[in-house]
Amino acid sequence: MNDLNILNQSFEKIKNYLDANNNADNQVIQFRQPAQLREAIHFGIEESGVTEFEFLDLIDKYLEYSVKTGNKQFLNQLYSGFNFPAFIGEIFTVLANTSMYTYEVAPVATMIEKEMISLMNSYAGYTDGDGIFVTGGSNANLMGMFSARNRIFPDGRAHGYDRNLKLTAFVSEQAHYSFETAANVLGIGAKNVIKVKSDDSGRMTPEALEMEIFKSLERGEKPFFVAATCATTLLGAYDPIDKIADICKKFGIWLHADGSFGGSLILSEKYRNLMQGIERTDSFAWNPHKLMNIPLVCSVFLVKKKGTLQYNLTDLSTDYIFHDIDEVEDLGKKSIQCGRRVDAVKLWFAWKYYGLEGYRQRIDNLMEIAIYAEKKVKEHPQLELLSLRQSFAVCFRYIPENQSDLNKFNLQLRESMRKSGKSIVNYGYIGKELAIRLITANGELMKSDIDLFFNNLLTQTASIADKSEKNYAG
């Protein structure tokens, strides 16, 4: 095969793909069932490889049938959109193909990661902080619990977890499942992650937290970790960090902020009050691959106290990697990974491109688009807001004139929307009521995109109603 020819044609395909993303008439996905995908694409590996023509055709098919997450009608996940400078950073990161364990093999990337950590710490108010890029928000939450365990039980680093300690962690009942996974991995046990009651808005109730801590102490347990969520997965709720910090200070408990979804709100001068008290936390998970639109994966774990990450590790007398010959710390000395992908460069390219002010404006725009979407729901007689919007998530449902099972109808509506490919949103349950969840995470969103979404949704409801009437008549 001619590699140069493939490269040139690949760049042309990239251009066409980006043009299509900006065309409002193009679908988010050409939906196919798994059996249909197997017919369209041969997934097996051939004995002698493929021809140049077949290789280029595979690229076309991969892009054709994949979800277009850069399309402005992709409102489904907590991430979406396309970030051109970050994309360029990703290309050259892969081209250089370095690893983040030493300055020796990644000199420029090391300096970039240190700069990004310093900047992000300044937003968090960690004046003597540190941090590391990790493989996702779940990993950052694991690191938070890991660090808390090592502070309260330092011998565990060498001798393992002592079950007689009966360590307990506390999270909101709306918190991400990764905390139970973290407790499992660390040997603490998922059942020792205590779910704290949230209010009607999905925010952790401080009074309930204090009560659960008292109960834990009465049972002879040792509370060691609390996680405050900065934008819950379904409702986009922000736990009251300041009040939770007061309680953690009272009992000497590590406070972690899970900003995996909504941590980037910290960039906004207008709305960052939702994260008031973030500087009082001990650690912070922040995913630029969510609201900052950096390509997956780009996640950061920050700690308030410098030296925490190095303290987490036990033995780094590996002179075949770490030589201590350069005037900078090798970042591998504070990571639980050895080989580590360069994820800081794409963030750096994007932040350089947009600037501090540019990113402030992008985050403000996301919030204002969510406010507009909430307004659209409130103004329509057959749309019902199921929870007051707090940030970037708008949860609602459609109420048809003649329909007794609203959950069934709205699930059908969501599935019909997804398979049409015109707009994609997700859903979840608020209590027993199914809510369609619209997420404003694409930094390029405009009000016209939200108008188009609701037009698509209302068109789909009419289509479902027509089919129901025909089936009834038949």
The tens digit of pLDDT for each residue in 363-399 reads: 999 999 999 999 999 999 999 999 999 999 999 999 9
Percent of the chain with pLDDT over 70: 96
pLDDT at residue 468, as a whole number = 57
Beta-strand pair 130-134/193-196: unpaired
Q: Identify the H or E element spanning 227.
A: strand 222-229
Q: How far is residue 159 from each of residues 150, 154, 164, 192, 352, measured CA to CA in Å? A: 11, 9, 13, 20, 45
Helices (H) and strands (E) in the chain, counts: 14, 11
237 three-state secondary structure = coil
CATH hierarchy code of domain 88-350: 3.40.640.10
Tokens representing 278 are 């973030």
DSSP 344-402: HHHHHHHHHHHHHHHHHHHHHHHHHHHHHHHHHHHHSTTEEESS---SSEEEEEE--SS
pLDDT at residue 466, as a whole number = 65
285 three-state secondary structure = strand
- Domain boundaries of the chain, sorted by first residue: 3-68, 88-350
Q: Which residue has the higher pLDDT, 102 or 222?
A: 222
Residues β-bridged to residue 257: 228, 284
CB proximity list for 274: less than 8 A, separation 6 or greater: 230, 238, 262, 265, 390, 391
Q: Identify the H or E element spanning 241.
A: helix 241-251
pLDDT at residue 467, as a whole number = 66
Q: Where are the alpha helices (DSSP H) in 269-343?
A: 308-312
Q: Which residue has the tokens 């460069």?
A: 345
Q: What is the pLDDT of residues 129-167, one digit of tens each?
A: 999 999 999 999 999 999 999 999 998 888 888 888 999
pLDDT at residue 472, as a whole number = 43
Residues β-bridged to residue 74: 424
pLDDT at residue 22, as a whole number = 83
Tokens representing 222 are 């040792």
Residues β-bridged to residue 429: 434
How much is the average pLDDT of 420-437?
Answer: 96
- Closest listed residue to residue 207, CA positions, set 234, 174, 240, 232: 240
Q: Strands (DSSP E) along 236-362, which ranges?
A: 254-259, 283-286, 299-303
DSSP 58-104: HHHHHHHHS--TTSTTB-SSS-----HHHHHHHHHHHHH---TT-TT
On whether the CB atoms of residues 419 and 31 are closer than 8 A, the answer is yes
Strand-by-strand arrangement of the 426-430 sheet: 383-385, 393-398, 433-439, 426-430
Q: What is the pTM of this model?
A: 0.94
CB proximity list for 197: less than 8 A, separation 6 or greater: 173, 204, 205, 208
